[in-house]
């Protein structure tokens, strides 16, 4: 029997051995060898931790905008540089390079999907110096 799952309440972990497991959605931590696919309904900037930078040291991350609109900012690679910004509308995606600090701000209530490895993920307040 096939069972459906709610991707807004849980996540899928894809493992190198071919296993796919339904797990509790995690923003940080997680299985070291698993790729996580998760969907999020977001209404405000607080829902996407716009006041924090996020970084995934072990793999690139695909951020997909399924509905609505968001802006994804990449922290400057060099001190004193300017943030890069990608505007995402429904159907758009961007790949955030491994190890690159990034954050999101909403243009409208949105549905997002992220695909990446969460192990080692770090968060840093936006006000922190870099």
Residue 22, C-beta contacts closer than 8 angstroms, at least 6 positions apart: 5, 10, 11, 12, 13
Q: Model's pTM, two decimal places? A: 0.89
Residue 120, C-beta contacts closer than 8 angstroms, at least 6 positions apart: 32, 56, 57, 58
Distance CA 89, CA 93 (A): 8
SS3 80: coil
pLDDT tens string 36-58 = 999 999 999 999 989 999 999 99
pLDDT-based confidence at residue 123 (cuts at 50, 70, 90): very high
C-beta of residue 98 within 8 angstroms of C-beta of residue 25: no
Tokens of 6: 């709610």
CATH number attached to the domain at 10-125 = 2.60.120.10
Whether residue 1 is predicted with pLDDT greater than 70 in this model: the reply is no
Tell me what the mean pLDDT of segment 3-27 comes to.
Answer: 89
- Residues linked to residue 85 through DSSP beta bridges, in sequence order: 73
Domain spans in the chain, listed from the N-terminal domain onward: 10-125
Whether residue 129 is predicted with pLDDT greater than 60 in this model: the reply is no
pLDDT of 78 reads: 85
pLDDT of 119 reads: 86
Tell me what the mean pLDDT of segment 78-84 comes to.
Answer: 89
Whether residue 30 is predicted with pLDDT greater than 90 in this model: the reply is no
Whether residue 31 is predicted with pLDDT greater than 90 in this model: the reply is no
What is the helix (H) or strand (E) element at residue 107, kind and residue range?
Answer: strand 102-116
Distance CA 82, CA 12 (A): 35
């Amino acid at each position: 029997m096939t069972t459906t799952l709610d991707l807004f309440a849980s996540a899928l972990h894809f493992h190198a051995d071919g296993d796919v497991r339904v797990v509790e959605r995690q923003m940080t931590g997680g299985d070291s060898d698993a790729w996580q696919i998760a969907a999020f309904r977001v209404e405000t900037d607080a829902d996407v931790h716009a006041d924090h930078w996020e970084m995934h040291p072990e793999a690139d991350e695909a951020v997909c905008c399924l509905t609505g609109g968001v802006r994804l900012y990449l922290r400057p690679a060099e001190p004193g540089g300017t943030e890069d910004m990608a505007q995402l509308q429904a159907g758009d995606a961007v790949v955030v390079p491994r190890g690159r600090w990034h954050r999101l701000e909403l243009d409208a209530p949105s549905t997002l999907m992220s695909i990446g490895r969460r192990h080692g993920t770090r968060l840093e307040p936006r006000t922190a110096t870099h």
